[in-house]
C-alpha cells in the first residue's frame, strides 16, 4: 500500500497491460490521491466536499477512468470505478466479448498476449505486434514472433452460431490456455 489512506484498489486489464488503480481518501482532511501502477496521477489536498468524482486517464490509448465517491451513512463512504463511461463490471464483461488474453512464460520471461477481435490487433506485454495474417482451410492464422518463438493465433468456426469463432494461441505449435486477466 502506498499511503495510510488507501481505501480502494482495482485492477483493470487493457490491451497494453493490467493497470492497478489505488485511491487514497482522507475523510478528515478531504485529501484525494489516485495512483496508477504506483504513480501519482491525481492529488488534491483539503477538499471540503468529501463526495464527488475524480477523473483521470489510463493506458496507452488514454481511456477515461472515473472514481465515484458516495456517502453511505455517517462517515462511511462507498467507492466505485467507471472505465470508459461504464461500470468496471460492465467494462470487463464487454471486453471479454471483444478480446482474448493468454498469459504464459517462455525462456523465463512472462508474456501477456491480447487479441482485439474487432481490429485483429495483437498486443504482447504492452506493445502492438507486427503480424502476418493468412487464410487457411479451416479459418485464419495470425503469425507473429515473441522472443525467439513463433506464435500463431488460429481463428476457426466453432460450427455453432452461439459460440461463433474460437481463437487459440499456439507457441511453437503448442496450445496455450486462455487467461482470465
- Give per-residue pLDDT as tens, 149-174: 999 999 998 888 777 889 999 999 99
Per-residue model confidence as pLDDT tens digits over 73-108:
877 899 999 999 999 999 999 999 999 999 999 999
Read off the pTM.
0.85
Has residue 181 been placed in a domain?
no
Domain count, the chain: 2
Domain membership of residue 105 as a residue range = 99-176
Strand order from edge to edge, sheet including 109-116? 99-106, 109-116, 121-124, 127-128
Domain identity same for 53 and 111: no
Residues 111 and 150 placed together within one structural domain of the fold: yes
Inter-residue contact 172 to 134 (CB < 8 Å): no
Cα angle 108, 140, 12; round to 5: 50
CB–CB of 24/3 below 8 Å? yes
Residue 17 pLDDT greater than 50, yes or no: yes
Report if residue 137 sits inside a domain.
yes
pLDDT, one tens digit per residue, over 105-120 is: 999 999 999 999 999 9
Whether residue 15 lies inside any domain: the answer is yes
Cβ–Cβ under 8 Å, residues 118 and 136: no
Could you report how far apart the first and last alpha carbons of the chain are, in Å?
21
Among 176, 60, 175, smallest CA distance to 123 is for 60
Amino acid at each position: 500500500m502506498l499511503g495510510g489512506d488507501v481505501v480502494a484498489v482495482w485492477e483493470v486489464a487493457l490491451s497494453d497491460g493490467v493497470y492497478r488503480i489505488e485511491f487514497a481518501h482522507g475523510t478528515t482532511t478531504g485529501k484525494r490521491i489516485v495512483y496508477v501502477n504506483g504513480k501519482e496521477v491525481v492529488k488534491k489536498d483539503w477538499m471540503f466536499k468529501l463526495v464527488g468524482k475524480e477523473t483521470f486517464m489510463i493506458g496507452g490509448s488514454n481511456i477515461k477512468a472515473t472514481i465515484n465517491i458516495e456517502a453511505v451513512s455517517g462517515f462511511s463512504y462507498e467507492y466505485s470505478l467507471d472505465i470508459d463511461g461504464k461500470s468496471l463490471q460492465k467494462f470487463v464483461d464487454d471486453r471479454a466479448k471483444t478480446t482474448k488474453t493468454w498469459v504464459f512464460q517462455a525462456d523465463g520471461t512472462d508474456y501477456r498476449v491480447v487479441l482485439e477481435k474487432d481490429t485483429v490487433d495483437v498486443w504482447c506485454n504492452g506493445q502492438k505486434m507486427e503480424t502476418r495474417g493468412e487464410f487457411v482451410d479451416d479459418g485464419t492464422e495470425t503469425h507473429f514472433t515473441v522472443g525467439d518463438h513463433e506464435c500463431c493465433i488460429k481463428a476457426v468456426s466453432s460450427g455453432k452460431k452461439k459460440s461463433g469463432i474460437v481463437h487459440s494461441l499456439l507457441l511453437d505449435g503448442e496450445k496455450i490456455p486462455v487467461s482470465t486477466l
